[in-house]
Chain A
Amino acid sequence: RKEVEQDPGPFNVPEGATVAFNCTYSNSASQSFFWYRQDCRKEPKLLMSVYSSGNEDGRFTAQLNRASQYISLLIRDSKLSDSATYLCVVRNNNNDMRFGAGTRLTVKP
């Protein structure tokens, strides 16, 4: 079983839709959690860290559920420019970063 698992998608949604991604992790001692965004043929860029109490950055909301060992990313009012692959990243108790395979999102006009 992979240490970090994501639904690969693709998620195809219309502009303005709300879309949510989940990511599960297997190491209960994991320490830190992040969402990265990767555009085609580009490097990943940090979208947001995920805090225990949940956090919001504009149209993006991230939540952490330690009991069920998953994190989520909610995107409201989707824009065409949100089309990308979203990577769930977990730092485990060995301080190693583990990446999910990514969820591909396509926002259509």
Chain B
Amino acid sequence: GAVVSQHPSWVICKSGTSVKIECRSLDFQATTMFWYRQFPKQSLMLMATSNEGSKATYEQGVEKDKFLINHASLTLSTLTVTSAHPEDSSFYICSAETGHSNQPQHFGDGTRLSIL
């Protein structure tokens, strides 16, 4: 089945550091990739949708200058959390889809980000 790889799986860093998370579709071309954030005991919150070769579409309340998304190819999207602060600590999950309407999204393993 479709596989999405996300890296790194766990990051601990100091406040003010920028952190890049990669999301790759390993065996299919992902026309669209999604970035989610999930706080403990809460549901997934969509942060942004990215289409290959175009600017990401951010959900209301998500700072595009804070969370930089690049979807340079059909198999790779990156999320960079710039100048991360403790309140950015969360579980970040990417997902990818082929673009066919009856197909589900396939999720990466998630990245646990802890900012000290």
Choice from A41, A99, A102 contacting B91 with Cβ under 8 Å: A41
Q: How many inter-chain contacts with C-beta < 8 Å in the A-B complex?
A: 44
Residues of B within 8 A of A31 (CB): 101-102
Residues of A within 8 A of B108 (CB): 43
Q: Mark A78-109, 1 if CB is under 8 A from B, else 0.
A: 00000000010101000111011110000000
| B114 adjacent to chain A (CB < 8 Å) | no
| A14 adjacent to chain B (CB < 8 Å) | no
| A44 adjacent to chain B (CB < 8 Å) | yes
Given contacts A31-B102, A32-B101, contact A44 B43 (CB under 8 A): no
Number of residues from A at the complex interface, CB < 8 A:
21
Interface centre among B101, B103, B104, B106 (most CB of A within 10 A): B104
Number of residues from B at the complex interface, CB < 8 A:
21
Residues of B within 8 A of A42 (CB): 109-110
Contact residues, B60-101 vs A (CB, 8 A): 91, 93, 97, 101
Residues of A within 8 A of B104 (CB): 32, 34, 36, 46, 49, 89
B60 to chain A, nearest CB (A): 13
Residues of A within 8 A of B35 (CB): none
A56 to chain B, nearest CB (A): 18
| B44 adjacent to chain A (CB < 8 Å) | yes
| Structural contact, B107 and A32, CB atoms closer than 8 A | no
| Structural contact, B44 and A44, CB atoms closer than 8 A | yes
| Structural contact, B44 and A87, CB atoms closer than 8 A | yes
| Structural contact, B34 and A100, CB atoms closer than 8 A | no
Q: Mark A60-77, 1 if CB is under 8 A from B, else 0.
A: 000000000000000000
Residues of B within 8 A of A43 (CB): 6, 93, 107-110
Residues of A within 8 A of B109 (CB): 42-43
